[in-house]
Structure 1
Amino acid sequence: MAPSPPDAKATDPPLLERNSELKSYTTTRATYPRIRVFYRRHQQANQLPTSPAPVPLLVFIHGLGGSVAQFNSLLTSLTPIASCLAVDLPGCGVSDFEPRSWDAYKLAALVELLETVIDDYREKKDGQGVVLIGHSLGASLATLLANPRVGGGQTLLSKYVLGLVAICPSTTPPLKVQASLLRKLFYLPNFVIDLWRAWDARGGLESRSVHRFVGADADAETKRLQALFNGQSRTPVFKRVAYGAIPTVFKEVVVNGVKFDGIPADSIPTVFEWLSLAIPVFLIGGEADEVTPPKSIEALGECLSGESITPSNASAARLGNTNAPAQPQNPKSSADNVAELRDEDFEQVERNGGTDEPTDDPVIPNELPATIPPLPLHPKKVVKTLIMPKPASHGLLYTPTTAPVLAGLISDFLANHVTGRLALSWQLQYLCQDGKWDVKNLEKWQKVEPVSEQIGGVFRAMKTLRQVDETHCPEVFTERWGGVIKDIIDISHDNPVYDPQGLETGSIRYHKFPTVSKVPPSDVEVKGFIDLVDKVRADQKKRAESENWGDNYAVGVHCHYGFNRTGYFLVCYLVERCGFTTQGAIEHFAEARPKGIKHAHFKDRLFVRYSGVKADHI
């Protein structure tokens, strides 16, 4: 008998444990008695505008053998910007392995289950849209959910899907010969597969089963997580889901005179299903991924972003056999080839059991029922493809070094291409009340430590001074700190609530460098800040020599409280001028200024900034 898998509930991260429940769902195919659903509504949802629709619901879909726990890092970063929903598929993670029928685990059955769960949580009366975020096979399920040509149509969910983020998407459905061979493998009894899994897991954290997903050079924490996730994957569930993804029906598809033969019609979506998506799509892969090769993701991106479907990139994306005539009829330019595809561009002939009957697409009503409010205009279709550099692998969403970068990239994509309302900075500014120094803010300000410990041998992080304060006004400050802090850079946007002249009379030089609150500084602002600090430090060196300061002097920097914007600028300087790593600089700032940078989107932006990823990929 195979050993019991590790208890997924016992290893649940606190965020998931606090916001999950087990629910029963019945679809047209099966009843799933105990499905774990994670749902956390946006904490400020009631204060944010609902016209023309609420902030979209973010839905996370895990892959084969995965679970909601794999999204913990992303959920931590993205729950502050939107309501988030994630589902453990039946038999995965905390969900019970019920029912046991194989039909209940076919892709179409799982799509209908997900559609039903989403419909249960989506704020339908307000016309809330949905953004799907899928990993590996989960990206395939997301594509089917979003696709009006394929989806079950039980709730018309596809009309409300506003964007798709596909992390390490599966783009290689088995071809006809491969599918036949694969189906035979699933007749092997469970104990044989369990023996193979045990052999594959020899070596623990250094086993092939771990290296396959995260690489031999992954850090110890990533390997530990991968071993845990591998152990929690149940063999009979894995078999059912994998078997349900193997195609049984194949088609011949002709697009603009190019014939594609043997295209799977009932499994992992091919490029033809992806092409039917008229929404923003973000394809993300890892350079070190052995499970979903980066080249296949890049080939899919080429097809979707306006390049022609050719035998070469079709082959790279494993789209089937091609037979391209020398001069296709009615040729179109490369730029128009994909962008103008419509239903009538596709000639589909089903090849199954010797029949040649045309297959009809599912009928989707053009208009929604009167009881459902109309959907706001969909965002413009755009396709972005990004391969994250090593060590990014198939586990990039839970690898500590890549997860924060991934969160920042996804946040940027959502804000830039789905809706600006998914930018935390926009939400915070919308919610911000007039009057920085009302009683509530004053009480908060009074509890903040005025000045940090030394940071990188250069800085002291501060909260802003107040002219009327008894202990943190310019006069008292110069008496207490004038021997250490020789310059203050005020990065707050508003005029200071103190008189800088009070610092100048105490020989502390004041510099104004205004930036907007709640928003991570731009590249231009970071460059300007670094240039300013370089000049201030050069001047301080001259003054130190002429006035015999010694070595204990610093540059004070403050916004309102001295954590987020201040921390962001100081971390950038430590990385670019003082030789710190991004993580090292963030931790050093937090040690000197306890709690450090508080807003996750500021830290995510720092990881993206120094990840080597170019902004034009987002």
Structure 2
Amino acid sequence: MAAFSLLLSLSLCSFFPLILDLPGNSVSPLLDSSSKLILPIQAVAASVSRVYTNTTQGKLSGRDMVQIALLCSVFPAFWYLRNGRKSKAYNDTKSLNGSAHGTIPKQSIDINDSEVVDPGLLKKHSEIRSYATSRFTYSSLRVFFSRHAQADKLPTKPAPLPLQVFIHGLGGSVAQFNPLLTSLVNLASCLSIDLPGCGLSAFDPKLPWDAYTVDALAELMGKVIEDYREKDTKQGVVLIGHSLGCSIAALLASTTSPQSIALSENVMGLIAICPRAEPPSEDEVSKFKKLLLVPNPIFDLWRNWDRRGGPESASVHRFVGPSADDETKRLQERFNSQSKTAVWRRMAAGTLPVYENHIAKGGLAGGDIWKGLDMPVFLVAGAADNITKPGEIEKIAQFLGKSHPVQIEPSDKSEPILDAAAPVDMSGKSKSISNGINPSTENLLLEKNPDTTVESLEDPSTPDAIERTENIPPQPLRPKRVLKMTIIPAPASHALLYMPTTVRTLAGLISDFLCTQVSPRLSLGWQLQFLSTSGKWDVKNLAKWQAVAPVSEPIAGVFRAMKTLREVDDSHCPEVFVKDWGEQIKDIVDISHESPVYDPRGLENGGIRYHKFPTVSKIPPTSDEVVTFINLIDRLRDEQAARKEKGGAEEPDTSLYVIWSKGVGMEFKELLMSSLKEDRKALNMLILWISYLLGTAWG
């Protein structure tokens, strides 16, 4: 009886938005007294009212049940037809980036299609594969694997750099990690997958629901890890999970997990972002199971109703909060749209444990799993997270042995990690933790590890000061148990790993944890220092590089093109560049996808903000990436203007689209050709961007 009532209520919820969701103050044609539909609608409304009353009072007749079935089928069809017309009309009139920039041609694209908007870094390093576990076979899984560009040149004794493994949460995808990947891919090899039915991985409706339990997904993830981990050289693993991905990571890392899942002996560290400490209670499980009885079509109706308002919808606000920035809301709306209802229901059901004598079996990781972690653990929460409250990390800390954990806030004196600007730009307003150990972290050490504690490195631009062979830090196969935790202040929410205002901080915190508590060799500064001493990390063609002018003449008075910096160069290195150009250039956008042959921290320390927006050679940027690039430059200009208003003598930068809108396209082209004519790769990438910005190709 309750199920019938729920179905009818959801059907009614799907009907009323059809009437209410109208532009402006227009009157619904359904409610117009002159409409021929008014009498039938009134009759249907009366019938609905009667059936609903009988349903709630438990007096359903056979006739009522037939009417319920008709209502549950007619209204979804009406919704579908109406939405189809609305979407077609919208797509026929919308431009690529709205109405903000007139230089973008009108195009009809699906901005929520996972493949259309897949970031270039993920496209370049992804493949589709199938895996079989002890119980299930998963077909057509998207696997992302990016091997460290300098892995063969770095020390491999007693083991190579650990493999960083990223595990997304319920309704998520690898794309949510892209801002972090863009930064952390320079530290060590990275691996991730779109879990079955998520992102670009195929959904197989023939798979049983048990294939989506947390245990089953953990076993699948373990198979993928073992396939890519360099087992012959004893390569370790660092697990980085978000939300549900934290439970999967904990199952893989814990010594108390089932033997078919656990990889604890190979896990060197675990980073849990927005984790949940325990599975749902018995009462919560009972309620969730009833909710999951709702069929997919009805569930879809509710989701469509919940997404009314787009970026300002309840579904978006639930994750990021009403005060989140527009870019975060846009991304959250996209991720919500990409999540498939059938997959979400299966994975959600898989998080629910079975209670035997009031003891939870299966589902999300609980205290017994967290207690089995015997490696460095970093817990991160967002102060404004409404999905998994910040208090969850305190519960996990109690499981690990600390009843009153000390919270670590981002330091005002910290050094930022390089800015990963795709798919979103990281604001320079955020702070992050430097590569030096914060003294307050000593209070969080469950077991101090002298092998992983290192002093601040010397400036990597002077590597000859120390013998390379004497400057190789240790790499423990089993780092000692350490607990570090932080709650990133508001507006950090459940979306903090791709929020522009928090992802920069998060990347810095993770980088700091990796190089201070897991392995000092995960320091980008140390890697650059080690490789530079023997010339192993340098520009590909030094003679060609030397023939190119370092910086172009001013373009439109505010923009300059620049060749890549070189850490070991006497003149065109970060330290010298900051001294020569720091008063004029405030932001550098690196559009190459390769790891830089210099340490971007040298620019940041000198007051020049570094932003990484990777484009892949010979792979044209997507329309979404072009819009994101424009938004990035817009944001940088706004930030520069804001800093100038506060009294700083900022020299305003520019964006490519502003140059063109000012009518100085030929000037830009000629200066670019003369300044970078020898650097064809950089030239081609810039031409590609501008071609997309203009909607035309250069001749």
Instruction: Name the TM-score, length of structure 2 as normaliser.
Output: 0.56
Q: Specify the code of the residue in structure 1 equivalent to 2:219.
A: E
* Per-residue deviation, 1:424: 1.2
Give the 5 Å matches for 1:199-238. 199-238=305-344
Aligned to 1:104: 211
Aligned partners of 2:585 and 2:608 also within 8 Å:
no
Give the 5 Å matches for 1:124-523. 124-153=231-260, 157-250=263-356, 262-304=358-400, 306-307=402-403, 377-434=477-534, 441=542, 443-449=544-550
In structure 2, the CA distance between the partners of 1:117 and 1:50, relative to structure 1 (3 Å rule), is: same
CA distance, structure 1, for counterparts of residue 539 and residue 139 of structure 2: 51
1:447 counterpart SS class: coil
* Per-residue deviation, 1:571: 3.3
1:173 counterpart SS class: coil
CA distance, structure 2, for counterparts of residue 84 and residue 93 of structure 1: 18
Alpha-carbon displacement from aligned partner over 1:260-310 (angstroms, at most 9, x marks no partner):
xx452312112332121011111111111110111222343354353379x
CA distance, structure 2, for counterparts of residue 587 and residue 564 of structure 1: 22
Aligned partners of 1:108 and 1:152 also within 8 Å:
no
* Per-residue deviation, 1:153: 3.1
Q: Which of 201, 220, 229 is the matching residue for 1:113?
A: 220
CA distance, structure 1, for counterparts of residue 574 and residue 644 of structure 2: 25
CA distance, structure 2, for counterparts of residue 48 and residue 183 of structure 1: 51
Task: Say whether 1:88 aligns with 2:194.
Answer: yes
Alpha-carbon displacement from aligned partner over 1:119-139 (angstroms, at most 9, x marks no partner):
111111111100000000001
Q: Specify the code of the residue in structure 1 equivalent to 2:606.
A: F
Q: Specify the code of the residue in structure 1 equivalent to 2:607.
A: L
- More helix by percentage: 2
Aligned partners of 1:106 and 1:244 also within 8 Å:
yes
Alpha-carbon displacement from aligned partner over 1:216-269 (angstroms, at most 9, x marks no partner):
112222111111111111111111111111110357xxxxxxxxxx45231211
In structure 2, the CA distance between the partners of 1:181 and 1:280, relative to structure 1 (3 Å rule), is: same
* Per-residue deviation, 1:562: 11
In structure 2, the CA distance between the partners of 1:562 and 1:445, relative to structure 1 (3 Å rule), is: farther
1:570 counterpart SS class: coil
Aligned to 1:49: 155
Task: Say whether 1:571 aligns with 2:608.
Answer: yes
Alpha-carbon displacement from aligned partner over 1:363-408 (angstroms, at most 9, x marks no partner):
xxxxxxxxxxxx9531111111111112211111111222222111
CA distance, structure 2, for counterparts of residue 120 and residue 586 of structure 1: 50
Task: Say whether 1:32 aligns with 2:138.
Answer: yes
Q: Specify the code of the residue in structure 2 equivalent to 1:104.
A: A
Aligned to 1:368: none
Aligned partners of 2:377 and 2:481 also within 8 Å:
yes
In structure 2, the CA distance between the partners of 1:109 and 1:586, relative to structure 1 (3 Å rule), is: farther
Task: Say whether 1:122 aligns with 2:229.
Answer: yes
RMSD in angstroms over aligned alpha carbons? 4.6
CA distance, structure 2, for counterparts of residue 492 and residue 97 of structure 1: 47
2:192 counterpart SS class: strand
1:240 counterpart SS class: helix
Aligned partners of 2:268 and 2:477 also within 8 Å:
no
Aligned to 2:117: 11
Alpha-carbon displacement from aligned partner over 1:541-582 (angstroms, at most 9, x marks no partner):
xxxxxxxxxxxx999xxxx9997624541338x99x96589x
**Percent identical residues:** 47
Aligned to 1:484: none
In structure 2, the CA distance between the partners of 1:245 and 1:564, relative to structure 1 (3 Å rule), is: closer
1:37 counterpart SS class: strand
- More strand by percentage: 1
Alpha-carbon displacement from aligned partner over 1:24-70 (angstroms, at most 9, x marks no partner):
11111111111110011111111111111111000000000101111
Q: Which of 170, 175, 185 is the matching residue for 1:79?
A: 185
* Per-residue deviation, 1:147: 0.9
In structure 2, the CA distance between the partners of 1:497 and 1:399, relative to structure 1 (3 Å rule), is: closer
In structure 2, the CA distance between the partners of 1:147 and 1:438, relative to structure 1 (3 Å rule), is: closer
CA distance, structure 2, for counterparts of residue 124 and residue 587 of structure 1: 51
Aligned partners of 2:446 and 2:483 also within 8 Å:
no
Aligned partners of 1:571 and 1:586 also within 8 Å:
no
Aligned partners of 1:162 and 1:379 also within 8 Å:
yes
CA distance, structure 1, for counterparts of residue 129 and residue 155 of structure 2: 30
* Per-residue deviation, 1:103: 1.1
Instruction: Name the TM-score, length of structure 1 as normaliser.
Output: 0.63
| Number of equivalences | 448
Q: Which of 168, 173, 197 is the matching residue for 1:67?
A: 173
* Per-residue deviation, 1:449: 2.2
Structure 1: where are the runs of 5+ without partners?
252-261, 310-334, 341-374, 465-490, 499-513, 518-525, 538-552, 596-618
* Per-residue deviation, 1:185: 2.1
1:85 counterpart SS class: strand
After superposing the two structures, state which structure 1 stretch, 165-174 or 292-301, moved more.
Answer: 292-301
Aligned to 2:430: none
Aligned partners of 1:24 and 1:32 also within 8 Å:
yes
Task: Say whether 1:20 aligns with 2:20.
Answer: no
Aligned partners of 1:54 and 1:126 also within 8 Å:
yes
1:32 counterpart SS class: strand
Aligned to 1:472: none
Aligned partners of 1:493 and 1:515 also within 8 Å:
no
